Amino acid sequence: NAGVTQTPKFRILKIGQSMTLQCAQDMNHNYMYWYRQDPGMGLKLIYYSVGAGITDKGEVPNGYNVSRSTTEDFPLRLELAAPSQTSVYFCASSYSLVSQRNTGELFFGEGSRLTVL
C-alpha cells in the first residue's frame, strides 16, 4: 500500500521557471492538502481539496495553483518561480468527516524539496 506519493523528491528551478509537483494517494481519501514548510517553522496550508473538482485556498496560496480532476491526484503548479518559494512541500490526505467513525487522521507524503535560484 503506497499511501501518499510525491514526485519529484528534489528539484532546483531558476527564477521565472514553472513546474508541477505531483501528489497521488491510493487510500480513496476525499480530502487532500498541500503544505509548505520553511526552516524552523511549522507547516503552512497552501491549498486544499474536499473532492474531485473542488479546491480552495489556504493560508499562503499566492504564486500557486491546483487542480483536482480525480480523487487520487492533486498536483500543485508553480507558474513563475521566485526565491521565496524555496521550501519543502508536503502533500497530505484524509477521509472526509461524514462518517462518525472516521478519526480525521492526516496522512503525509515524504515531501518535495524545492530550491529556486
Partner 1 sequence: KQEVTQIPAALSVPEGENLVLNCSFTDSAIYNLQWFRQDPGKGLTSLLLIQSSQREQTSGRLNASLDKSSGRSTLYIAASQPGDSATYLCAVRETGGFKTIFGAGTRLFVKA
The count of residues interacting with partner 1 (CB under 8 A) is 27
Q: Which is nearer to partner 1, 17 or 30 (CB)?
A: 30
CB of 52 to partner 1, least distance (A): 16
Instruction: Confirm if 23 and 5 have CB atoms less than 8 A apart.
Output: yes
CA distance 39 to 46: 16
Determine if 110 is a binding residue for partner 1 (CB under 8 A).
Answer: yes
Q: Which is nearer to partner 1, 48 or 116 (CB)?
A: 48
Instruction: Give the number of other CB atoms < 10 A from CB of residue 98.
Output: 7
Instruction: Confirm if 84 and 60 have CB atoms less than 8 A apart.
Output: no
Burial of 58 (0-12, 13-18, 19+ CB in 10 A): middle
The shares of helix, strand and coil residues in the chain, as percent rounded to the nearest 5, are: 5, 50, 50
CB of 106 to partner 1, least distance (A): 6
Q: Which is nearer to partner 1, 74 or 111 (CB)?
A: 111
**Stretch 30-89 residues interacting with partner 1 (CB under 8 A):** 31, 33, 35, 40-45, 48, 50, 56, 58
Q: Which residues bind partner 1 (CB under 8 A)?
A: 31, 33, 35, 40-45, 48, 50, 56, 58, 90, 92, 96-97, 103-111, 113
